[in-house]
Structure 1
């Protein structure tokens, strides 16, 4: 696997490992059902295994950096209330404490920056007994629009509630990604080897010096020593004045054709497969160096 592919795979694994640990804020309305990934606050309490649902209210003021004007009696358990608060102007801990003091049972803080990353809110956990989560600006704006203060319209689910489904999805995705990466690496490696073979084929060939000492003669129709009228390599008829080369097996070809054949494509005669690369043939050719025909 290439370094780039390994780095990309590691990044995706880290991302999904982080995502599996996130909880979810789910808005349930008659006309809308939406889910938003959130990051739980480190200083707040965790929701139980079944999650918590309640009515969603906008904090007043929305930043919740001071005591909230919309206050409820925390002891009233008939309706669980969530506070929706925007990020900024004060610490996360202050926002959660002000919402808790106003009687809210859970806090959802949304980002004030477009396309910002989810942050894990930190603070002093002493005296905090309500859960709090952080969502993106887009999620917060959606919650803000559809918040009606209706009972059970918003839920924060514990990771264990959705962990199984997420785990299966993540494992399936990672498995497909690994398989795709292996297959892609195989084909890339194969294509690279084929390309290398194309540029540097390493085909067996006859040394050019050995080819150059093979006997040659100039073709003429009046010559009675010729065997055929056609070159078996290019399939063109011989013409007067053309230079032919004779192999040790006594088959002749256009000199340019057979030279190219022996030095680039094969070490044998194209007609009878006589092998020219053997030591015996080399010796035979060297003995014939004085019997060249012109």
Structure 2
């Protein structure tokens, strides 16, 4: 047992595996899974079942994994398990490298060696998996094809322990599960967006229920002052009324809104009592609760 080594975290495995599983199921619906696990690590790989071998049923199959001797399994295997194959013990899988002979020869040699399943891995870095073909006559074991990376990982960490390796069934059911999860996630996203839009609409409705104008009594509560050009008052922010576009003259009464914009009192009073409750310049809403309390 290799101590002190831990594979990817469960969260990383879940995210990566779910995404890969979903994409792979779209393009390779006949694919399956190879899973290697121990107390310190857990790996799951995509595989392509051989067309001429016995398919794995819905329950899958688990067993101990052994490395073929020779690795390419192009001749009779030295680690022959025929003598103990019927002893009632755990199923036995054999890991084989691609190359030098046909897939069918490798699988037949694995079967003659007493193994219940052959896992053949690519000897080249490829982005896709091959669907192994051959003559199915006389073949009664399982056979799958995995990538080079998967094969090298299996070879590195296999210990020949009981039930350390499992071969799953077709991805049809797994892909269906992923689709269901994706559908439920989509529903959750839609619900969240709907709740957001509902809250936003409620806010708008609440805003629309506010008065469209102010009463003169409320307007007169807003601060005002008399304009003096020689003695500038710190309250005003401009020299021209933004409503009538006339310059301020000495002695004219100006009114200051909560946003600190000032106007001719006559102009802004008419605006607030007839046209709206926001500042003509910055559209700041005067009738907001925070501003009403100030008034």
Kept in 2: contact 1:20–1:167 (CA 8 A): no
**2:54 is the alignment partner of 1:41:** no
Secondary structure of the residue aligned to 2:95 is strand
Paired residues for 1:14-93 under 5 Å: 15-73=24-82, 76-78=85-87, 79=89, 80-93=91-104
Secondary structure of the residue aligned to 1:68 is coil
Bigger CA radius of gyration = 1
The correspondence for 1:150, drawn from 161, 166, 170, is: 161
Any unmatched runs of 5+ in structure 1?
1-11, 181-234, 238-294
Secondary structure of the residue aligned to 2:177 is helix
1:91, distance to aligned residue in structure 2 (A): 0.7
- Cα distance change on mapping 1:31 and 1:13 into 2, 3 Å: closer
* Deviating 4+ runs (over 2 angstroms): 12-21, 74-79, 170-177
TM-score (norm 2): 0.52
**2:159 is the alignment partner of 1:133:** no
The correspondence for 1:98, drawn from 109, 113, 126, is: 109
Residues 214-237 of structure 1, C-alpha deviations (whole Å, 9 max, x = no match): xxxxxxxxxxxxxxxxxxxxx799
1:62, distance to aligned residue in structure 2 (A): 0.4
1:109, distance to aligned residue in structure 2 (A): 0.4
Secondary structure of the residue aligned to 1:21 is coil
Q: Aligned partners of 2:60 and 2:145: how far apart in 1?
A: 16
The residue aligned with 1:113 is: 124
Secondary structure of the residue aligned to 2:149 is helix
- Cα distance change on mapping 1:135 and 1:174 into 2, 3 Å: farther
Secondary structure of the residue aligned to 2:82 is coil
1:101, distance to aligned residue in structure 2 (A): 0.8
- Cα distance change on mapping 1:166 and 1:61 into 2, 3 Å: same
Q: Aligned partners of 1:67 and 1:116: how far apart in 2?
A: 31
1:51, distance to aligned residue in structure 2 (A): 1.4
1:95, distance to aligned residue in structure 2 (A): 0.5
1:175, distance to aligned residue in structure 2 (A): 8.9
1:111, distance to aligned residue in structure 2 (A): 0.9
Any unmatched runs of 5+ in structure 2?
1-20, 190-244, 248-295
Q: Aligned partners of 2:25 and 2:161: how far apart in 1?
A: 33
1:159, distance to aligned residue in structure 2 (A): 2.2
Kept in 1: contact 2:30–2:49 (CA 8 A): no
Q: Aligned partners of 2:57 and 2:73: how far apart in 1?
A: 25
Secondary structure of the residue aligned to 1:144 is helix
- Cα distance change on mapping 1:171 and 1:18 into 2, 3 Å: farther
Kept in 2: contact 1:74–1:104 (CA 8 A): no
Aligned length: 188
TM-score (norm 1): 0.52
